Structure 1
């Protein structure tokens, strides 16, 4: 209780000092200053110096009234985009995994594509598990995709045309190395192939007979049994284990954030995916907004390009302002503007004008594009203010 009262006194002290210096800080700024005051045991003189420096930085960070922030953001993100590589795939840190980088990745993000070319996850572990070799390897095998073909003996598969059946022998050591449950593997094979029979003398040997006795069905069954998935989470393919600094990290080909976050031992705060729509579904729209910012920043920085984060934040805010992730294009923000003329000026002019006429929409001329079209001053810069004159009163009250 005493501690809370002391903090409140400090907050009031900083607020009064800021007002004395002619500035009103947001609450987050005041709390940060109070935190710095406590951590560094500042004197009153040092606190005053800190407030002056924060005031200067705060005022420099403000946007001028009437500034065309949207146009500046578009220029700032679009111009570096012309310098980006067109290569779709590139090795990024993990040699065994391909990820989409450069301009194709930037387009994926701003188009808000629900199906991305190379979804991937970075899975971190809690303190007591991050160096547990056994746990990490077991989890990697459980979540990574494994098929019957991955656990067959070297010469353990053949199509027996004489007896019209597919014969296979599973390697017990491979099953053990992958930490797989053999009984579950048998169940999966029997469930998928009703005519699967296991050898009573060798439980790791089985054969499958086709439903119809013909070569085509036999070959189809041969392909199906080799490709039969016996372990792994939906959406996740290959899993790579890497030791980075003092901990293990799993890098996956594919993504399933919801299921991964439910696994005990996984660090829910650090684990991430590059699939923005999946983040929105599992963690919500604010997490998706942060993911858009981080993904755009990462994509640009990998190409050696730097853009002020505020431009990217504005793009992310626009994409998520309606509670869902929307694309920047005719199917998203640009095609859903309230202004008829703004929609028509972007794409599909005839369709937008026709639909607006049918619905009897009214153009209020509040935006930039629509005012340019009809030749009026735009509501930016000097056009964003009105000049009003106060006439002098004449003698006699007139």
Structure 2
């Protein structure tokens, strides 16, 4: 039986790899052929393993940095949509490995749940507009100030609020929720705000004009942080590309597919989905950038980088403030940047360096603990036979 053959290899191959072989091998394949295939897979799998003492970190660094010298400093632009750019190439790689919390062009790819993903273009456009943040300035024709009565008056754009399916009453309610003024009412196509100023006998000018400026940036509809939206078709389904990101609130929408929607903000993924999701997303982002550049880097090197950056349960960049700071060796920390500061701090604390890693042994001209350098040889003089000449 074919199933018995597969069970024999459960201890020799990872479950996912064995499952992949089962899916690829035709059902009517004979037992002898299946066994030959599995033996060949086992042989390749063993060759893929790292030998004890192999300098996997150095190999990964070389494998990534050498193709990295050929990367371009470019930005992808979505035609037809202003301000929808995505950082690519070397600048994006630097953002990722430095673990920068504020990235230059945050964006999302929002996949729609069924049946929205197969709907009409106009329906998808309306869904996209529901996601995009809408400010008071975007839906108003003008904002007037009446100093005598201490009133700020928002004249709404009727066509615009109709297109967005908003009502003056709901806009007034949202404005009231976000500002400290209590007297906010809607009057036809207007939203009127009465500024309370009971603490001063004179009519102050600056607070009311400050309120006017703050109102312009007030988000009254959509999701804050999503600046632009672009519905496109991918593989026969509608997908919404965005400029800006807010993963938590987007995943709360009923028409969004929560299993496939992604963001390019690694820290946002970490905050919403946890460190494992952030680790895999970090790998995917780096791999995607390298692939778009037409370069070839083995994924295992990128996985090693992602593992190291997330091994402490949080995201740490490959910088002196990230994983370098966590190294136990004083010499290793000092070799990266700011050696005097590291030596001074270590001296004051009375730190000891056991010289257990590569960098510190290179500095003091000792054999590095990789490859044959990991092995200590001892000679048993007692059993040594000496022949007389």
1:175 matched to 2:132? The reply is no
1:57 is matched with which residue: 44, 67, 88?
A: 44
Point out 4+ residue stretches in structure 1 off by more than 6 angstroms. 160-164
Aligned to 2:7: 12
Q: Contact conserved, 2:267 with 2:315, CA < 8 A, in 1?
A: yes
CA displacement at 1:204 relative to structure 2:
0.8
Distance in 1 between the 2:171 and 2:116 partners? 27
- What are the ranges of 5 or more consecutive residues in structure 1 without an aligned counterpart? 1-5, 17-23
Give the secondary structure class of the aligned counterpart of 1:236: coil
Aligned to 1:263: 253
- Larger mean CA deviation between 322-331 and 156-165 belongs to 156-165
Aligned to 2:64: 77
Aligned to 1:359: 349
Aligned to 1:21: none
| Cα shift readout 1:337-358 (whole Å, capped 9, x = no counterpart) | 1112111222222222232233
1:90 matched to 2:76? The reply is yes
**1:364-375 map, 5 Å:** 364-375=354-365
CA displacement at 1:159 relative to structure 2:
5.6
* TM-score, normalised with respect to structure 1: 0.83
Distance in 2 between the 1:107 and 1:64 partners? 30
Q: Contact conserved, 1:119 with 1:274, CA < 8 A, in 2?
A: yes
1:67 is matched with which residue: 54, 61, 68?
A: 54
Aligned to 2:291: 301
CA displacement at 1:234 relative to structure 2:
3.0
RMSD over equivalenced CA pairs, Å: 2.9
**1:1-398 map, 5 Å:** 9-14=4-9, 24-37=12-25, 40-87=27-74, 89-91=75-77, 95-96=81-82, 97-133=84-120, 136-153=124-141, 157-158=143-144, 166-191=152-177, 192=179, 193-194=181-182, 196=184, 198-199=186-187, 203-208=188-193, 213=203, 216-217=206-207, 219-389=209-379, 393=383
- What are the ranges of 5 or more consecutive residues in structure 2 without an aligned counterpart? none
Distance in 2 between the 1:208 and 1:25 partners? 69
CA displacement at 1:249 relative to structure 2:
1.1
Give the secondary structure class of the aligned counterpart of 1:139: helix
Distance in 2 between the 1:114 and 1:372 partners? 34
- Larger mean CA deviation between 313-322 and 123-132 belongs to 123-132
